[in-house]
A and B are shown apart, each in its own frame.
Chain A
Amino acid sequence: MRLPLSALIGLVLTAGFFLMAIFAPWVAPYGMAEIVGDVWEPPSAAHLLGTDNIGRDLLSRMIYGGRTTIVIATLATVLSFSLGSFMGLTAAVIGGWVDQVMSRFVDLIMSIPTLIFALVVLSVMPVTLPVLILVMGLLDSTRVYRLSRAVAVDINVMDFVEAAKLRGEGRMWVIFREILPNALSPLVAEMGLRFIFAVLFLSTLSFLGLGVQPPASDWGGMVKENKDGIVFGIGAALWPAGAISALAISVNLVADWILNRTSDLKGGRGG
């Protein structure tokens, strides 16, 4: 199997970001909350990216902030993904009123923009990490539900699934041996997209001041902390913002590759 250059870049960068998050305390030159210099010092040998709005080392903070971003986004993705795909597959295979009730409820949730709904809920909830993960994961599971249900419904009506049912196979065999192997690649690609969405969503919430609360900080929160420097020509806020973009693009490249590689499930068109 050949790996296209774009996918390779995506894989390497994604792996880099995750390694950095895991080994943050060993990689970071300074502590996260340690004040080591002046306010908004320019980049130097001691502080590769300079310092932030209260004189902490920006690079160290970026590494720790990345850890927060990646951990929360990963947990939210795991939640949204396992819940959404389980419910979606179940709805597709059982069908009938169970499917109807679940699908209409998901339609309803999705008729409200995710950010607006999250803001409404966060206006009364205490903003803690578990609450953030729960809100993000639950809201986003609606999208995973839709996709996995659609994919499974498509596969469920194919003749090979019917053949398995005629053979007398049980529901578990049908779901795990016939449907899941064929649904896996679109679902894995979707997992990448959900992760990106979780990263962007968390960053947006933190940027609006409604995500990760100080003194802890993620990349979105760091943009908020340093944004006032922009008007003075100090680009400190651009570093975390750029890091978010870089992470999202890398994962996107990988997801795009997985999606392209396996979009030929039903074979090419004859003619």
Chain B
Amino acid sequence: MAEEPADTLLDIRNLRIEATVYPPGEKAHDIVIVDDVSLTLEKGRVLGLIGESGAGKSTIGLSAMGYGRGSIRLSGEVWLNGRDILKGGVRELRRLRGKEVTYVSQSAAASFNPAKRLMEQIVEAGLEHGVGTRKELEERAVRLFGELSLPDPETIGRRYPHQVSGGQLQRAMTVMALVPEPDLIIFDEPTTALDVTTQIDVLAAIKKAIRTTGVAAMYITHDLAVVAQVSDEIMVLRHGRKVERNTAENIISNPQEDYTRALVSVRSIEHEQKQPTASPVLTVRGISAAYGNKVQVLKDVSVEVHPGQTLAVVGESGSGKSTLARVITGLLPPSDGEIAFGERTLSRALEDRSKEDLRELQMIYQMADVAMNPRQTVGTIIGRPLEFYFGLRGKKKRARIQELLDEIEMGEGFIDRYPAELSGGQKQRVCIARALAAKPRLIICDEVTSALDPLVADGILKLLLRLQKAEDVAYLFITHDLATVKAIADSIAVMYQGSLVRYGPKNKVLAPPFDDYTDLLLSSVPEMEIGWLERVMANRKMESAGN
């Protein structure tokens, strides 16, 4: 095309994406997912697409391959290598998929066929499109395995997907995308499902792969700090429309739109650390616990939570942090150790605890939508603890419910609604109100913000901090997200494989000298800063060379 600049690889014009949905019990109808989005991408460049869930970023990514999931329909123009692929027909699309454009998904574990060896799947696209002989492709794959630091590059291809770890599979999928030497790779949240310490390795591997091969890429994520590490340019999306597009640097340091500014400043909550008091509200002494009689998941853990303060328990999957919560609540009686609530020693098992013990210790869950009975109204959900613990009924109860709703910044008219009619953030607020209704001294918050979009999560954190001041309630805050920890904790406990590796006031825990694991964990959290990834990887290389 004459109008195309020579180095333009992808040019999406006025893309509109619609889908037919089939809600149970209702008539099928159409919804618009993406409306009037245009973007261009030059050869060898990386464009980050960022937005909350439902922003339509994944569907835009897949549209570059002319692909729509399920009933999705694409309209508009998608020009790739000088032709509009939406006009080309099925054969044309098949020729470009897996050859000119390849794809890396969020869950490599699900995206590899469980019945076939990795190598068989990795060379498949290249063979199909005649990019090279099997031998050539396999050699290229082995070389890439090595470059992306996969163990045993010569033999790992002979394994089946379930024989390889999640982080390794994600890198293997990147290799699969690279082997046919495409012009463009779509990365669709490739590190979202991984722990932070794994994420940084995969991120570094992806960045290295992009740089050494010179392939162009579209990098889709909800995490601005992550996308800032790999992208030249970033496009911000919301509700299926473009908000703004700029160089990565400008987006971070000089955002133009309010929405982008909010995304950049997320987690910049200022919270002054309080000093520990003489009498903790919760004391956990030497707790060990196991599931069944075999698997020990907690080893000799001791922590304290002080009145009106927040203890953050941080760790990756398998660290035992959620098990600690189960032990404290009495759902999983410990095999050893003691839990004291104020002056009283708590019974190990839930059944033996007094109503007063139960009332003073409340819990908020990660998934607000399954933490509320879908057949009960907001009024019933918040009202039950009032009735159960304080015997409130009728008008008094209703007045108190409304008071609590006001406290969580939800006004009139929610009292008779069902959970299904609320947004994600509202659901979590109702759960907070339910916990507050019991007038507890301690609330256990189990990953309460990790299922929410960053801005919504921010709102919840601010609310929790405000309520802590007003009600003088203590939090035991379980999370894998260090940014959250920095924002709200007074003291921090770092857990790794069931043990406490570091524990103390926030300023001490987050200040050097660090133990190895805390160092690894802290340095792995992406920061909203261009060049952060290079700096960390260079540091790590130096350290390992120094040893």
Contact = CB atoms under 8 A, between A and B. Distances in A.
A–B contact with Cβ pairs below 8 Å: the answer is yes
Interface of A: 158-160, 162-169, 178, 181-182, 260-268, 270-271
Interface in B316-365: 329-331, 350, 353, 355, 358-359, 362-363, 365
B429 to A, nearest CB: 15
Nearest to A266: B370
B388 interface: yes
B358 A267 contact: no
Nearest to B451: A270
Contacts of A265: 374
A139 to B, nearest CB: 32
A159 B366 CA distance: 9
26 contacts: A160-B370, A160-B373, A162-B331, A163-B434, A166-B330, A166-B358, A166-B363, A167-B358, A167-B385, A167-B438, A168-B353, A168-B359, A178-B373, A181-B373, A181-B376, A182-B375, A260-B25, A261-B25, A262-B25, A263-B24, A264-B23, A264-B24, A265-B374, A266-B370, A267-B374, A271-B58
B373 A166 contact: no
Contact of B370 (A158, A178, A262, A264): A158
Given A181-B373, A267-B420, A159 B23 contact: no
B372 interface: yes
B292 to A, nearest CB: 13
Contacts of A166: 329-331, 350, 358, 362-363
Contact of A165 (B350, B369, B373, B420): B350
Contacts of B374: 182, 265, 267
Contacts of B331: 162, 165-166
B53 interface: yes
5 cross-chain pairs, A with B, having the tightest CB-CB distances, nearest first: A159-B371, A181-B375, A168-B358, A261-B25, A160-B373
Among A159, A182, A270, the one with the most B-chain Cβ atoms within 10 Å of its Cβ is: A159
Nearest to B434: A163
Among B23, B25, B359, B373, the one with the most A-chain Cβ atoms within 10 Å of its Cβ is: B373
A181 B377 CA distance: 13
Given A166-B331, A169-B388, 5 more contacts: A159-B371, A162-B331, A164-B373, A165-B350, A268-B23
B327 to A, nearest CB: 13
Contact of B363 (A163, A264, A267): A163
Interface string B36-76: 00000000000000000110001000000000000000000
A168 B24 CA distance: 35
A168 B330 CA distance: 11
Contacts of B369: 267
B400 interface: no
A163 B23 contact: no
Contacts of B365: 159, 163
Interface of B: 23-25, 53-54, 58, 329-331, 350, 353, 355, 358-359, 362-363, 365, 367, 369-376, 384-385, 388, 420, 434, 438
A6 to B, nearest CB: 13
Given A166-B331, A168-B358, A263-B24, A159 B350 contact: no
A28 B369 CA distance: 55
Contacts of A168: 353, 355, 358-359, 388
Contact of B371 (A160, A264, A271): A160
B24 A261 contact: yes
A261 to B, nearest CB: 4
A53 B459 CA distance: 79
A239 to B, nearest CB: 36
Contacts of A267: 369, 374, 420
B259 to A, nearest CB: 21
A267 B58 CA distance: 21
Given A181-B375, A264-B25, A159 B355 contact: no
Contacts, number: 62
Nearest to B59: A271
Nearest to A264: B24
A163 B371 contact: yes
Among A163, A261, A264, A265, the one with the most B-chain Cβ atoms within 10 Å of its Cβ is: A163
A268 to B, nearest CB: 7
Given A158-B370, A160-B370, A168-B355, A260 B388 contact: no
A153 to B, nearest CB: 15
A159 B24 contact: no
Contacts of B53: 270-271
A63 B450 CA distance: 63
Contacts of A178: 373
Nearest to B330: A166
Given A264-B23, A267-B420, A167 B373 contact: no
Contacts of A164: 373
B497 to A, nearest CB: 25
A83 B434 CA distance: 36
B384 A167 contact: yes
Contacts of B438: 167
Contacts of B24: 260-264
A270 B21 CA distance: 12
Given A167-B358, A167-B385, A267-B420, A159 B367 contact: yes
Contacts of A160: 370-373
B367 to A, nearest CB: 6
A166 B359 CA distance: 9
A159 B363 CA distance: 10
B62 to A, nearest CB: 12
A178 B381 CA distance: 11
A146 to B, nearest CB: 23
B369 to A, nearest CB: 6
A271 B68 CA distance: 13
A158 B370 CA distance: 6
Contacts of B372: 160
Among A162, A167, A182, A267, the one with the most B-chain Cβ atoms within 10 Å of its Cβ is: A167
Contacts of B384: 167
Contacts of A163: 363, 365, 371, 434
A159 B370 contact: yes
A167 B370 contact: no
Contacts of A271: 53, 58
Contacts of B420: 267
A181 B353 CA distance: 28
Contacts of B385: 167
A261 B369 CA distance: 19
Contacts of B54: 270
Among B25, B376, B438, the one with the most A-chain Cβ atoms within 10 Å of its Cβ is: B25
A162 B375 CA distance: 16
A265 B374 CA distance: 8
Contact of B388 (A158, A159, A167): A167
A181 B376 CA distance: 9
Nearest to B424: A270
A181 B434 CA distance: 20
Nearest to B366: A159
Contacts of A167: 358, 384-385, 388, 438
Contacts of B359: 168
Nearest to B444: A166
Contacts of B363: 163, 166
A165 B365 CA distance: 14
